[in-house]
């Protein structure tokens, strides 16, 4: 076989090999393209815009009009309850965009309550009572948020999960603030008792003079 013939057949074989590779690549694309598209669609579902965490101006004015910390917290929790109930109502329709907006306002109100309580004197019984009321409210709201998340599409449920975790952390903060000073005070008392006993043990008894 001449040199030119070998070159011709070699080029022909290379062309066939590349054709086979191209065919295999096309088959792989046909197999995996639906999977990739499905994953891309799922990722797009997770890109629902997060709810805006803000308190409407009219409700902010109600908070500022409160005369004392107890009234301020009561008004805050009452408004937060109305928005959580509205989120439940929107979810039942269903209107997940509306529910998400209500959840964002609820989140902002609870964050405002925690910030407000943090500005008060923590060694006050009144402040501890306010923290306790907030903790009880968040404890009751937890199962409601969980129920909302479970029946909400994934692209909106991720934001409810964020608020759910925030409320759980808020409960922990409230409990720490409620029990912290009391625990320290009880610990100080328990540490003082042995000291007093030790002082009494070192003091000799008085002997009555005849």
The reply to whether 114 falls in a domain is: yes
The reply to whether 191 falls in a domain is: no
Structure tokens at 50: 């997060």
pLDDT tens sequence for the chain (210 residues): 555 544 544 455 666 666 666 676 666 666 655 554 444 444 445 667 899 999 999 999 999 999 899 999 999 999 999 999 999 999 999 999 999 999 999 999 999 999 999 999 888 889 999 999 999 999 999 999 999 999 999 999 999 999 999 999 999 999 988 776 444 344 444 444 444 444 444 444 454 554
Q: In whole angstroms, give the CA distance from residue 66 to residue 50.
A: 30
The reply to whether 146 falls in a domain is: yes
With beta carbons less than 8 A apart as the criterion, state whether 153 and 95 touch.
no
CA atoms within 13 A on the CB side of 182: 11
List all residues 6 or more positions away from 45 whose beta carbon is below 8 Å from its beta carbon. 153, 154, 155
The reply to whether 10 falls in a domain is: no
Q: Quote the domain boundaries for residue 171.
A: 57-180
Query: Which DSSP letter does residue 65 get?
Result: T
Q: In whole angstroms, give the CA distance from residue 80 to residue 129.
A: 19
If you count them, how many residues does the chain have? 210
Q: For the chain, what is the domain count? A: 1
Structure tokens at 151: 């029946």
Tens digit of each residue's pLDDT (9 = 90 or more) over 163-188: 999 999 999 999 988 776 444 344 44
């Amino acid at each position: 076989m001449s040199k030119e013939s070998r070159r011709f057949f070699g080029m022909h074989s290379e062309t066939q090999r590349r054709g086979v590779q191209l065919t295999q690549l096309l088959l792989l694309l046909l197999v995996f393209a639906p999977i990739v598209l499905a994953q891309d669609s799922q990722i797009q579902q997770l890109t629902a815009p997060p709810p805006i965490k803000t308190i409407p101006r009219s409700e902010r004015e109600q908070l500022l009009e409160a005369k004392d910390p107890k009234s301020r917290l009561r008004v805050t929790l009452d408004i937060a309850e109305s928005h959580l109930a509205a989120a439940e109502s929107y979810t039942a329709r269903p209107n997940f965009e509306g529910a998400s907006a209500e959840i964002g306002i609820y989140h902002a109100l609870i964050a405002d309550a925690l910030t407000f309580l943090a500005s008060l004197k923590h060694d006050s019984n009144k402040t501890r009572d306010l923290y306790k009321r907030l903790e009880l409210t968040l404890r009751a709201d937890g199962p409601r948020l969980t129920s909302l998340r479970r029946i909400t599409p994934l692209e909106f449920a991720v934001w409810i999960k964020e608020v759910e975790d925030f409320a759980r952390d808020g409960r922990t903060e409230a409990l720490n603030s409620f029990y912290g000073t009391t625990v320290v005070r009880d610990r100080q008392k328990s540490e003082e008792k042995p000291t007093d006993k030790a002082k009494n043990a070192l003091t000799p008894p008085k002997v009555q003079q005849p």
